Amino acid sequence: MTIEETLRQFTMRMEADPEPIRTLQYTYEFIISDDPDGVYQLDINQGSATYYKERKKEPDLSLEMDQKHFEKLADGDLNAAMAYMTGKLKVHGEVRHALKFQELIKKYRSS
């Protein structure tokens, strides 16, 4: 599955069940190191979610990784803390935003 397809699925699931994101206002940015067009954003704004294939807003959190690790993270097969400690994931922004993102992955990833 492509990054765009993954983000589309996440936003569809968030729109279908907006209660967990109703009070959130975060913009997450994904910098994919091995993708020439590798900047994507997920914008969560009080119960709605939108993704972009480019940088549209100043992010609250940027996560930098390769495509393989993005897919594993989105599938729940990669622990973000371990990926960070082993250099597979670079985090730019506040840790609390990263922790919230990991919660959202668990909630909205495919079953």
For residue 17, what is the domain's CATH number? 3.30.1050.10
Per DSSP, what are the bridge partners of residue 43?
27, 50
Q: How far apart are alpha carbons 20 and 101 in whole angstroms?
A: 12
Residue-wise pLDDT tens digits, 84-94: 999 999 999 98
- Is residue 29 one of the residues assigned to a domain? yes
Indicate whether 16 belongs to any domain.
yes
- Residues 37 and 53: their CA atoms lie apart, in Å, by 8
pTM, two decimals, is 0.89
> What is the per-residue pLDDT for 110?
64
Number of domains the chain contains: 1
Question: Is residue 110, in this structure, part of any structural domain at all?
Answer: no
Q: Domain limits at 62?
A: 3-105
Does the residue 71 lie in any domain? yes
